[in-house]
Structure formats: structure tokens, C-alpha cells
Amino acid sequence: MLSKDSATYQRVAQTIDDFMSLDLTGVGSIRHIRDAVQRRQPGFNCMGAAEVIATRLRDQPGPVLIITGFPEGGGVPETDGPVGAALLARALFLGFGVHSIIAIDHDWDAMMRATCMGAGLSPRNLPADGQAVGIDFLRPVYIRSLEKDDTRCHAAAHELIETSRPALVISIERPGANANGLYHGLGGRPLDGMVGDADYLFNLAKQHGIPTIGIGDGGNELGMGVIAQDLPTFSPKARDCGIPGRGGVAAANAADHLVISNVSNWGATGLIAALTALLENPTVFHDAELERRSIELCVGNGGVDGMFMAPEPAVDGIHVDEWVGLVHTLRATVLRTLGHTINWKGDQGDWRQIK
């Protein structure tokens, strides 16, 4: 385990956070969000979350519950969120040997399964007894569908928390209810009837003393209540979505630890990078081509890009080819900071890592 007091720890933690602060989409809000998080939650952002995970899983090894799924026009899911969830599940398995349960709306089940297969996982239905168990020669990930009506969604929440007994709950790019209990897109679009009430699941976890981590990029995602008071100072729709009586788009529910980045999937990659460094285990960080495959399978099974609003192989307007370059660069930078030498070989590009 990388020592928190070491210069390497400080250097790699800061480097990862610097990568997360890049305005990749050109929207311009990430710097304001980063500053707000630093005021409310000082310290290293991604490495702080990695420490929460490592400490919890050391004291209570068990499944990790990951909540994701954000609807675009017509209620179809965007690529931002599911890809990050799948790759996080992979990292948690390789880093800690724990299994993940991914909770997502029932009509996005097939998309989530394909996305997980792209990430090198073997998706399985969560058994009736709620137990996420190992399977020889596979990397299982368990999928739990959520219904969109409150009664059945809340019943599923109780089953997950009280039967599966997760050690941690992580949300990534999942709509978060505002102070009036309503869900919105960042531009003010109502999401009524498009998603199940995952806030109920998040709150139930808190009531059971389960640590929560939120990953978001705009302020309307589950867990971003950490900066709900700051958002109106730079996000026009945070206080008022533009529809009388609904309130703003700012999510009210605060995670115990909030991870922020310009794109939520990029935040998942930052958290994976931090886990890789903390555990000093390069295998935790996936190869960039695995992320390409996960994005393409997500799109091929119903996912859409949130900027193009179409089944393009992209995330928030960033094409998959650019994603591959970003992941290559962050992975190589983290490994170099940890003392590895990285060589680039082959006509098609083949990362070789030499200790």
C-alpha cells in the first residue's frame, strides 16, 4: 500500500486531480465545481475516495453496490455512467477481490450487460438470496434491475441493502433529486417517469451506516448535494429549472465523498487511477482498448452519446478514439509517477510497461 506520507503519494494524487480538472468538453464549469468541492471537501479528490474504499473494504470485505443510468431524449440511456460503472467493478474485483452489484433501470438492463462484457466482466442476474458470490474462471458482476414506480423501486432498495448487505454504495452519473424530490437534466429538462427513485436507495444506505461515494460532472447527479449551495453561483439552472414550481436542477443528496470531473466516466477513470496508485497494482488500471470496447458495446445495445444525442461511439461529445488517448495518457502518467518505465511499441500502438 502506498504510504500517505510519501512524496510519491502526494505527487500522484495531485496529478490525477489535475487530469480530472481538464475542461475536456469545453463547457467551462469544471473549474467552478472543483473550487466548490475544495471548499466543502478539502483534500485530494480521487485519492480521498480511494482511501475511503480501501479502508472500508479492509474492515468489511463485501460487495460494492454501484448505481448508474441517466436518460436522454425518449428515455434512452447515455454512455456516460454505465461504462464507468463497469470499469469500476472490474477495478474493485482486481484490486480487492470483491464483487459488484450494478443497479440500473430495468429497461436498460441489456445495455448494462453488454457494457460490462466490453469491460471484461461476466454479467449475471443477482440471485434471489441477494448474495453476490464468486464464480470460478469468471469475473462476475451482478445486475439488479430497478423499476421506475416508487413502490417497487423502494422494495428493491430494501432487498439490496438488507439482503445483499453492500460494504459501499457508489453512484456514477445518476440523476439526483432536487430539494422538491424531482429529477432534471442539467438544462432543466424534467425526467419524470424516466428513472427509478435511486435517492431512496442512497438514503437507505446512509441509514444503515454504509459509506456513499458520488461521481458527477454537472451538479444534478446523485451525491452532488455536497455543493448544492454553491451551484447557483455559476450554474444558471441550479436554483430554477425554468418551469414554475419545480425548483432547480441541483441534486440535494450529498454523498459522504464526492468525486468530480469534467465527464463522469472520466471521474471513474480517475478513481481507478487512484486505486491503482494506492494499491501499487498496475493491473487494476484497465487498458484503453478495453474502454473502447465497452463504449462501443454500450452504444450497440441502446446507449447514446449525451452531446450528439445519437448512438455515436462517444461520451459527452468526446469520440472513442479520443477517449483511448486520454486513458493511455493518464495510465502511463500514473505508472511513471510510481516508478515504472513506459515504452511505446508497434505500428498499431502497444503499451509496454517495464518495471
> Bridge partners of 169?
65, 212
CA 115 to CA 211: how far, in whole Å? 26
Examine residue 1 and state whether it is found in any structural domain, yes or no: no
Examine residue 168 and state whether it is found in any structural domain, yes or no: yes
Examine residue 294 and state whether it is found in any structural domain, yes or no: yes
Tell me phi and psi for residue 168, to 5 degrees: -145, 155
Strand order in the sheet with 100-105: 122-125, 140-146, 100-105, 64-68, 168-172, 212-216, 257-260
pLDDT tens digits for range 207-232 = 999 999 999 999 999 999 999 999 99
Examine residue 230 and state whether it is found in any structural domain, yes or no: yes
Average pLDDT over residues 264-281: 98
Q: What is the pLDDT of residue 274?
A: 98
pLDDT tens digits for range 33-54 = 999 999 999 999 999 999 999 9
Burial class (CB in 10 A: 0-12, 13-18, 19+), 190: middle
**DSSP assignment of 13-51:** HHHHHHHHT--TTS-S-HHHHHHHHHHHS-S-HHHHHHH
DSSP 8-state code for residue 187: T
Average pLDDT over residues 235-251: 96
DSSP 8-state code for residue 80: T
Examine residue 213 and state whether it is found in any structural domain, yes or no: yes
Q: Give the count of domains, the chain.
A: 1
Residue 170, domain extent: 7-354
pLDDT tens digits for range 179-205 = 999 999 999 999 999 999 999 999 999
Q: What is the pLDDT of residue 341?
A: 85
- What's the CATH code of the domain at 133? 3.90.1640.20
> Bridge partners of 305?
310
Tell me the average pLDDT of the chain: 95
